[in-house]
Every structure is written in C-alpha cells, then in structure tokens.
Structure 1
C-alpha cells in the first residue's frame, strides 16, 4: 500500500515539460507554372470555301410531245440513253392521211395557177379589143375582176398546200437540238393524243448540281468560281454557272447551279457535295491546335503577364491546318499552341521555345 502511494506521489511530483510549438510559415509558395509554346495571330489572305450539297439535274430538259392527235406511231427510232443530233428523227407517225391531204392541196394549187393564167390571158385580149374599140369597157372590168379572183384562189391554194405540208411534217418527230434521250414513253403502234409526252431530251448532254447553300454563305459565291464536286470517292472539277435569286423560307437555303463537265460520270437524280472556292480575302488565322472548346464554344488562350487568359472565338473557315478567327483575337497576339488543352483561365504558364523552332 505504501509503495502505491509513493509511486503516485512520484508521478505528481514529476516535472512537466512545455509542448513543442511548430513554426507556421506565413508566406505562400508560388504555384507551379505549366510549360507552353505560343504563336502569334497572323493576318493573311484566306480563300473562302463554301460547302453545299444537292441533286444532279439536267441543265435544260425538253419534253417532246405530239403536235397532232390521232396518228398511230409507226416507228420509234431511239432508246433511252441514246445521243442524238439536232434534226435527227426520233419517232415516225402514220403519215398516209397527211400525205393524201398534201397531194390534194398540191393539185388544187396547180388548178389555181392554171385558172389564173386563163384569167390573165382573157384580160389581155379584152384590153386589146377595148383599145381598138371592139370591146366595151364593161368587158374589160369583168376580165379584171376574174383575174383578181383567180389570184385570190391561187393564194388560198398556196396556203392550203403549206398547211398540208406542215401537217405532214408533224408526222415526223425530230430532235430540236443535240442531246441525250432521258425517257421514251411510247411504243410503235400506240396512238398518242395531242400534247402527249413522247420523248424527254437532255440538251447537249449537260448536267448541273443544284447545291443547297446556307443563306449567310451565298454572298461569297459568284459565277465562274471553281468547285470541287464529290460523289462517293469520285472528285470532279466544276464551276459555278449561276446563283438562284431566291432563298427557301422554310430551310433558309439558296441554290447554286454548278455546271458539271461532260465526262463527270454522274446521272440525273444522284446526290453529290460541292466545295465552292471563293476569292481570297484578308483574314486572321491561328493553328488548329490552338483552338480549344469550352462549354461547347470555340476558344483560345493568350498569354498575359505570365498567365493564360481564355478568349471566346468566332471562327470561320478551316484550311491547311489553320482556322479563321472572325472575332476574339487581334493580329500579333500570342496564343498558346502546345498545351492549350490542359489549361484553365488564369493558370500561370512558362513560355518555352517550340521543338525544332
């Protein structure tokens, strides 16, 4: 019992030491810097590129129909896909009735010519007799009236013959210009009605691409500009023929008519894409790797006093690894090229030379 108390007293009488205090550093350590490379924003001419797509259509398409109804088709001389020349016979209609009418009109013309010759001869004799006093003036007037009637009948006969020949010509349907037969809608033996479509022609075999372009891009498109048309793996060099004057209200798209070369290999109804190359204009550009996306919008970092500052960008065309900057940067500003994807606004950075620079 004595030992326990002594031990307790010893514990109470043991000298207590003061706690060791740890010095607190009040100065903050500098944040680490990220190493980046920068490149200046450059101003240079940039060719404007406008993109569009659409269907291949005929440059000019002509529907050829029957000018007269009720005639049987006696021969069809072309097939779909045939190339035809101007004036070539496409179809032949039964011309038996028209031929008979033409022959009758020709005979009527001969009869009118003979009647006029007799009337003129009678007028000449009456005039001679009147001069010698052997014929009255009344007879001369009658002969003159008969001659004028004969002339009128001759003119009518000539018109009837011309009409008959025109009807006969309508039985032979010819190509009004050179082209390609897109469609043939009749067979031999059919009796088409007046105006019925018989053949559809593509004029001169020329095709176009009706490329649909956003309304805000139409101002950069003009006739004569070069176009690269793509269809699958095929690339075709073409040119802008015209720009349609109207824009579709529902889609806000305009149509650019792109003239295709004869050897394009495309066909009406195919779908293709167009890359229209406009004239070069001054623009600000930065390397593509300098452009990052924050909150779904394009941006870039500029270096100011050793810190990366985020700038929102309005970008345009992308060509040869460069991006057009329409707003957000000024020429000569240093933008982060390497390491931009790892930065946040306000990060401290250390600019280092580019590898190989």
Structure 2
C-alpha cells in the first residue's frame, strides 16, 4: 500500500516538473518577440502605401455630335404599276422582258398572236365598204326623188322613204367605221407596252398562254424608286420634317442615304406610331436594299456640343455605368453616370461632372472606389511624329 502511494506521488511530481519547464520555455521565447515588436511597428509605420495600379488619365472634352432619331420600318416600291392584257382570248406569242430588266416608257414587253385580230379588221373593212356603197346608192335615189318632188311624179310618202333610206345608210357607214376603229385598237393591243420607265419586279406572262382582258402580266417599279416606310412614335413625330436626311441600314448591313418625302397625316390608334416616307435612290444603285426588306434608320436632326470621354474609361458594373475620377491625393472615386450618343471611340456623358475632372482611362476596369494609383502619360498614337532630342 505504501509502495503504490509513493509511485503516485512520483508521477504527480514529474507532471508538475514538466509543466514548470514548459512554462519557462514559452516565457523565454515570448520576451524577444515583445522586445522586437516596437521596432517592427516603427518600421511598418515608416513605409509609404504602395499604388494599386499604374493608369493613364484624360479630361472630358466638348465634341460636336449629330442628333439622331432611330426608327424601324419596311422598304417598299414607291409605286408599283400593274401591266395587264387589254385583249381577250388572244395567245401570247412572245415575251421580251424578264424580272429585273430595266424598261423605258412605250417599250414592247410582250406580243399576242395577231391572226384573229387581222381577220376581224379585214371583215370590218369589208363591212365598211359595203355600207358606203349602200349609202352612195341611197343618196342617189334620194337626190332624184327630191328633183321630182315639184313635178308630182312621186308622192310625198315615197320621197320621205328615199330620204329615210339615205339617212339610214349614212348611219350604217358610221357604225361600220366605229367597228373598224375598235378592231384596229384591238390590233394595236396585241403589243403590251410599258406605261412608264422602271424595273420589272414580277412576271406572270408565259409564251403560249391564252389570257383574258385585264389579266396581270407584269409588275413594274415605276422609275426604279424605292421608299422606306419608317414607324415613328407620336411623341417623336414633331422632330421630323420633310427634307430631313436619313441613313437607312438594311438587315445585311448595307447603308444608303435617303430623304424624307412625306409624313402620314394620321397615327395608328393601336401602335401610336405614324408612317414617315423616305425616298431611297434608284433600286439598281443599291443592291443591298430591296423592296420587302426590314430596315432600321437614323433621322439626322442636326448637330450639338456635348461632353465626351473615351469609351475605355467607362466601367459597366451591376447594370450601370461608372467613371473613376482621380482625386488630388491620387486616389480614385467612383462616379455613376448616364451615357448618351457615341461617335468613334468617344461617348457622351449626360451626368454633370466636377470641374476640371480627370478620369482614369487605361486600367479603369481593375480599380475600386478609393484605390491609390500611379499616373503615367498616355502612349502616343501609332504614326504620330516623334519630337527631336
């Protein structure tokens, strides 16, 4: 029993001795660190803050920008003429033009077979000759009857009959002349003529086909003119006037310069938009603009001065645009802005900026509000003359 107690006492004493030695070791290690702490703190306070990034800056500039109004619409023919047949039941003998051909006013587009018309004209001429012969005979009989009127050889009734026959024969001559004229018109209608200068946009005429009067054979874009029918809201309609220049851009990217010809007098009650008709130059000169295309355009309303900054200085964050403005202590402040028009690599700033503000250009996207920066001169543009030393 005494032996067990002695062993327990020895174990406890050994543990206490180990704790005392460990405490002394940690105390000795901590003293040098505490002695060096003031020197380290002094050294840290003496070191200057390091810049976050090296950047270039620029000042906002006043730039003359074009005022525009954007709109969408469709391209259509200025006027599309329907060229049809004026003859009935004739066979198409020849078609001389196709889609895309440029034609002149009065040019022959197609011809019909003239055999039937020629026969009808010959018959009308024969009928006219017969009517004239009968009229001459009736006129002679009436003249003789009038000479015998005073002699009493013929009764008044017989004389009236001769005169009536003469007048009837004259009427038949006039009717025969009218029939001949109608047949001659049909003969001229065997040629389908272009009603105006323009471009053939559609063709349904087929050689050998028998068509009725009024059947459409061709469609013609008159004078080759197109128009862009822009939809402009009623709120913006007052800014557009006749003669305003317009830049029209098709879906393929083709651009053409046009001019406002007219403005619709009414506004669509459903969309609250009005049509503005813009003349587009000749269709053959603008291969990228075709009738039926959808196109967008900008009405060029004039020019005005505006404050602009380089596009690289604008930082989009969280759905908004910001500028990083350099402060006198070389730290940057984040400024929320609203942008406007763009021209080249410059963007209009609608938000009022501090006087003589300098904004970060190169490196703006890597900075946050309050960062310290180092400013260097912007590199000279490529090709700029180098100053002599």
Aligned pair count reads 337
TM-aligned CA distance change 1:267 to 1:284, over 3 Å = closer
CA–CA distance in structure 1, aligned partners of residues 83 and 157 of structure 2: 58
TM-aligned CA distance change 1:72 to 1:303, over 3 Å = same
Matches within 5 A, 1:218-297: 219=239, 223=243, 225=245, 227=247, 237-240=256-259, 242=261, 245=264, 257=278, 259-261=280-282, 262-266=284-288, 268=290, 276=298, 278-286=300-308, 287-297=310-320
TM-aligned CA distance change 1:257 to 1:170, over 3 Å = same
- Are 2:226 and 1:208 aligned? yes
- Are 2:200 and 1:177 aligned? no
- Are 2:53 and 1:39 aligned? no
Partner in structure 1 of residue 333 of structure 2? 308
> Of the candidates 176, 180, 190, which is equivalent to residue 157 of structure 1?
176
Where 2:182 maps in the other structure, the secondary structure is helix
Deviations 1:190-231 (A, max 9, x none): 223444443343444x26374767758775586462637578
Q: TM-score, normalised by structure 2?
A: 0.62
User: Higher helix fraction: Structure 1 or Structure 2?
Assistant: 2
User: Higher strand fraction: Structure 1 or Structure 2?
Assistant: 1
Preserved contact between residue 201 and residue 220 of structure 2 (Cα < 8 Å): yes
> Of the candidates 217, 236, 239, which is equivalent to residue 198 of structure 1?
217
Q: Which runs of 5+ in 1 are unaligned?
A: none
CA–CA distance in structure 2, aligned partners of residues 201 and 250 of structure 1: 32
CA–CA distance in structure 1, aligned partners of residues 88 and 147 of structure 2: 54
> Of the candidates 351, 357, 361, which is equivalent to residue 334 of structure 1?
357
Preserved contact between residue 313 and residue 329 of structure 1 (Cα < 8 Å): no
CA–CA distance in structure 1, aligned partners of residues 323 and 187 of structure 2: 78
TM-aligned CA distance change 1:270 to 1:156, over 3 Å = closer
CA–CA distance in structure 1, aligned partners of residues 155 and 95 of structure 2: 66
TM-aligned CA distance change 1:170 to 1:160, over 3 Å = same
> Of the candidates 317, 333, 343, which is equivalent to residue 319 of structure 1?
343
TM-aligned CA distance change 1:337 to 1:116, over 3 Å = farther
TM-aligned CA distance change 1:127 to 1:334, over 3 Å = farther
CA–CA distance in structure 2, aligned partners of residues 240 and 296 of structure 1: 37
TM-aligned CA distance change 1:304 to 1:126, over 3 Å = farther
Deviations 1:38-66 (A, max 9, x none): 41352x53223566777765444334333
Where 1:109 maps in the other structure, the secondary structure is helix
How far 1:144 moved relative to its partner?
Answer: 5.8
The CA RMSD over aligned residues, in Å, is 5.2
Larger gyration radius, structure 1 or structure 2: 2
Where 2:59 maps in the other structure, the secondary structure is strand
Deviations 1:63-85 (A, max 9, x none): 43333342222233334444433
CA–CA distance in structure 2, aligned partners of residues 100 and 242 of structure 1: 51
How far 1:313 moved relative to its partner?
Answer: 0.2
Where 1:334 maps in the other structure, the secondary structure is coil
TM-aligned CA distance change 1:221 to 1:273, over 3 Å = farther
Q: Which runs of 5+ in 2 are unaligned?
A: 1-12, 21-26, 381-389
Partner in structure 1 of residue 185 of structure 2? 166
> Of the candidates 76, 95, 106, which is equivalent to residue 76 of structure 1?
95
Where 2:183 maps in the other structure, the secondary structure is helix
Where 2:181 maps in the other structure, the secondary structure is helix
Where 1:299 maps in the other structure, the secondary structure is strand
